[in-house]
Amino acid sequence: MSELKEKSKFNIQAAELLQDKSLFAPSVHCSYYSCLQLMKVVINEFLETSFEELEKNIKDAQETQKLNTHTYIIKIIGDNIRNGSREKHAIFDRNIKALKRFRISSDYENVQITTSESDKAFNIAKDIRAQLKEIFHV
């Protein structure tokens, strides 16, 4: 098992533990990163792109397309889901955008993150992870 896949699993577990301790903002952070890490694993395993090649592709995308790391990874995954099913892509797109909004609010904005927001982020992350596992068998 790849170390990144293991970290992804740890992050979703940490998100749940943090919720139980009423640490809602860090829980949202972990929920989001569990998905981002799993998407990188998908790119590595399913799309057969080494992590080194992925980092090079991200750097190139930053320079040529002005895409940041997260946007690039989400775009690659989204494009591959869309090629298989527009309906599944719509679900993925809606979920990842919502989760990313929660994470930005949680990490960067001067706002309180509530139990409700943390629960929503956690449940969205579980849905994204399940979808990635179903489609890409990771």
User: What is the DSSP track for 41-69?
Assistant: HHHHHTS---HHHHHHHHHHHHHHT---H
CA neighbor of 95 nearest in space, from 70, 129, 51, 69: 129
Low-confidence ranges of the chain (pLDDT < 70): 1
pTM over 0.75, yes/no? yes
- What is the structure's pLDDT at 86? 97
| CATH fold group of domain 3-136 | Four Helix Bundle (Hemerythrin (Met), subunit A) (1.20.120)
How many angstroms separate the CA atoms of 59 and 63, rounded? 6
Domain residue limits, the chain: 3-136
37-58 residue pLDDT tens:
999 999 999 999 999 999 999 9
Question: How distant is the alpha carbon of residue 124 from its chain centre?
Answer: 10
- What is the structure's pLDDT at 133? 97
- What is the structure's pLDDT at 43? 98
- What is the structure's pLDDT at 80? 97
Alpha helices in 21-137 (DSSP H): 24-45, 51-64, 69-84, 86-108, 115-136
